[in-house]
Amino acid sequence: MPNALTLALIQFAPDFSDKKKNLSRIANLTKNIAADILVLPELCTTGYAFASKSQTAPLAESLDGETVRFFQALAKEKNALLVAGLIEKSGDEIYNAALICRPETERVAIYRKTHLFYKEPLAFDWGNSGFFTVKDEARDISIGVMICYDWRFPEVTRKLALAGADLVVCPSNLVTDVWRKVMPARAIENKVYVAIANRIGAERLGEETLQFSGESAIFHYNGATLAEAGKSTEQVIFAKIEPRKTRQKSINSENNIFSDRRDEFY
């Protein structure tokens, strides 16, 4: 099993509501990438600024749809664990979701965004998947997923870390840079790698213009920045990570940041 893995984040500006074009762009953007883990932004196949379910419903797909098949094939082609944001349909529900694919299996995992931001409840249903980790035996890594606004809640990263995550990834469509002050702390307090795959560009939402802030980043479990993208550039960033090193939570001979927790008082 590998000791070090290559993690790649793909930062770009999806074309609003043009799924076919975005899938083609993703294929081109990843064409020459060699990595063990690929992470794309939130809603990378459709864009973000939806104001109603009448807009998201025609773009939503079930887990046996074209988009999932595309990402399954891409994961297999690249021999990589892959995480990507999409609009998922399940029955009558429509979710802002993230797909987790492994090349060794046709089975996929789906995380549905728990904390919807701003006007997202107009276009999406509240996520009900809960927070979980995906164990990739071939790469000896456990990965946890959250989406964008979920970062505001420290319980999310802690829950994923307690569930065994070595790496927490956050596909995003962020419009501020406040998260840059917080995510290194999430890495430190849980001793996990943290990766934010953000997008660039702008979209109209009613009378507003949403300007996405880029600066996708990968943080070491000690809080150091391993890689970061620019504010407005289409870019792929890479970092080497060593998942096994996150699993020992001791900080000295006497203290362990997980076993020292006294959650009966929290």
What does 18-38 look like in DSSP terms, one character per residue?
Answer: -HHHHHHHHHHHTTT---SEE
- The stretch 210-231 carries a mean pLDDT of 98
All structural domains of the chain with their residue ranges = 5-265
- Which CATH entry fits the domain spanning 5-265: 3.20.130.10, 3.90.1150.10, 3.60.110.10, 3.40.50.360? 3.60.110.10
**Rounded Cα distance, 200 and 235, in Å:** 10
The catalytic site residues sit at: 42, 113, 148
Q: What is the pLDDT of residue 3?
A: 81
Q: List 89's β-bridge partners, or say none.
A: 94
Place of tokens 């962020």: 174
pLDDT at 2: 61
Q: List pLDDT tens digits, range 182-213.
A: 999 999 999 999 999 999 999 999 999 999 99
